[in-house]
Amino acid sequence: MKSTNYRTFTNGFKASFVMKTIASALSYLIVTLIVISSFSGCNDRVYEKVTYTANLPVYMDFDTFRKSVTKTSGRALENPGKIYFKDNYLFINELNEGIHVIDNANPAQPVDIVFIQIPGNMDIAIRNNILLADSYIDLVAIDISDPLNPVEIDRIQNAFPNVLPILDYTYPVYGLDFTKGVVTGWETKEITEMIEKGSNHGRDMVLFDGFGAPSIGSAEVRINPVSSGIGGSMARFTVNEDYLYAVQNSNLKVFNISSTPGMTTGQDVMLDRMVETIFPYDNKLFLGTTTGMVVYDLTSPATPTYLSSFNHINSCDPVVIEGNYAYVTLRAGTQCNGFTNQLDVVDISSITNPFLVKSYPMFNPHGLGIDNKILFICDGEAGLKVYDATDPQEITQHQIAHFQDIKTFDVIPVGGLLMMIGSGVLYQYDYSNIDSLVLISQIPVVMP
């Protein structure tokens, strides 16, 4: 009896085991069929061989990049950009290469004394004797106590992440890899690859956010030393007390620069629009964006606070301020997709409720400046235009001067001296007698 029960139990166990094995095999077979079916589906994809022209990044390794700030003797201007003025020195950006330091104590005879090589430089600001500059992805601080011997003393790495140099927008970018180093340029090449039909594969379309004179009385143009200098209206850097503010794409970046070395990165202010320029006035920041002017309060400098905005159609728009008025130029033919060329005068007497006073048609305005109600406008190929802006309703009816046949970019007017970057020349004018503006010097640009 015991033997029969044991045999029955054993046979039952074997039958159960066989059934489980069969079930497991069937499950495996079903999964295998599904996998095979999936691969079969992949094999149905269509691939094609394509050849196209692309921008290939040129890299500089990080170690070399971060040892590349050096000084050289003064050199000719070739491709000037932003300008900055402090303590009778003029600092002129050479696009993507560095900064010309010019002794401008005698504006009739400016002297190019040194060139600071800073790869990827576009913007400048100065606090006390510390020059702050972007270098592609980094922020560098350079001691200029002795302008002839500038020395890098501090750096914030990756202050401006993923910055790319200007490229030919008509071609895609191929093989971009930020881990390989800093992108310092582009090589245009034909690429051939097999790609799945309808895909981009290695191609990326990159959107970017992107120049024998009479003497002049030194008492009229010599400026007393101040803690920070004066930038043009096209600036993207500005200093206020212990902070540097920089605009990048749709961010307002904040840096504590109270100690150098020892700079620190603050909290970014996220904006809902693309920012082009920044202008400080009365403890506030006036941001020129692609869709209008935005105002931030600096009562708490580490955390700028939104105050108001004045909106307009899409256009690049530098801003300058004096008294109760903001002056904004809008121009067409840029990456901002604008089709309007005009000057807007905005009443900011109620800073939380700015409103348009009047618009004036212009040719193609770029930078502008104002000093004691004298308004200077760089109207592109239409030249430099100077107006008495005492009556904001009648500005163009009171034109003081028009210097034609100059393609103008940006200006800094201060204490009777106007410094202007144009295509081919840095111009300086004496406007201490506004009825008789006089060209006192010019530094020619070496054309490639």
Q: Do 245 and 283 contact (CB within 8 A), yes or no?
A: no
110 and 35 co-located in one domain: no
Question: Are 22 and 132 in the same domain?
Answer: no
Q: What is the pLDDT, as a whole number, of residue 8?
A: 39
Residue 9 is predicted with a pLDDT of 37
Here the tokens at position 96 are 């993507």
Shortest CA distance to 181 belongs to which of 62, 20, 67?
62
At 150-195, the pLDDT tens digits run: 999 999 999 998 888 888 878 888 888 999 999 999 999 998 888 7
Q: How far apart are the first and last CA of the chain?
A: 110
pLDDT for res 347: 96
Q: What confidence score (pLDDT) does residue 273 get? A: 84
Q: Is residue 192 part of a domain?
A: no
In a shared domain, residues 216 and 360? yes
Same domain flag for 38 and 99: no
Give CA separation, 328 vs 20, 236, 401, 415, in Å. 81, 15, 20, 22
The reported pLDDT for the residue numbered 104 is 92
Q: How much of the chain exceeds pLDDT 90, in percent?
A: 57
Given this model, what pLDDT does residue 238 score? 96
Counted domains in the chain: 2
Q: Cα(117)–Cα(94) distance, rounded to whole angstroms?
A: 9
Residues 288 and 330 in one domain: yes
CA distance 144 to 101: 10
Structure tokens at 437: 């503006």
Residue 56 tokens read as: 């290939």
For the chain, what's the residue count?
Answer: 448
The reply to whether 16 and 121 lie within a common domain is no
DSSP result, 326-349: EEEEEBSSSTT-----EEEEEE-S
Q: What pLDDT is stored for residue 315 in this prediction?
A: 57
Residue 203: predicted pLDDT: 56
Q: What is the CATH number of the domain that holds 226?
A: 2.130.10.10
With respect to residue 187, please indicate whether it lies within any of the assigned structural domains: no
Are residues 360 and 426 part of one domain? yes
- Tell me if the bond preceding 261 is cis, omega within 30° of 0: yes
H-helix or E-strand spanning residue 286: strand 284-289
In a domain, 134, yes or no: yes
Q: Give the C-alpha separation, 389 to 408, whole Å.
A: 20
Rg of the chain over all Cα atoms, to the nearest angstrom: 31
Strand partners, 305: 297
In the block, tokens 């700030």 appear at 69
| pLDDT value, residue 3 | 43
Strand ranges for 36-79 from DSSP E = 47-60, 70-73
DSSP state letter for 120? T
Q: Let me know whether 147 and 254 are in one domain.
A: yes
Looking at the structure, tell me whether residues 287 and 400 fall in a common domain.
yes
- pLDDT less than 70: residues of the chain: 1-44, 198-227, 312-316, 333-339, 424, 445-448
Structural domain range at position 17: 2-44
Model pLDDT, residue 50: 84
Structure tokens at 37: 């079916």
Are 141 and 19 found together in one domain? no
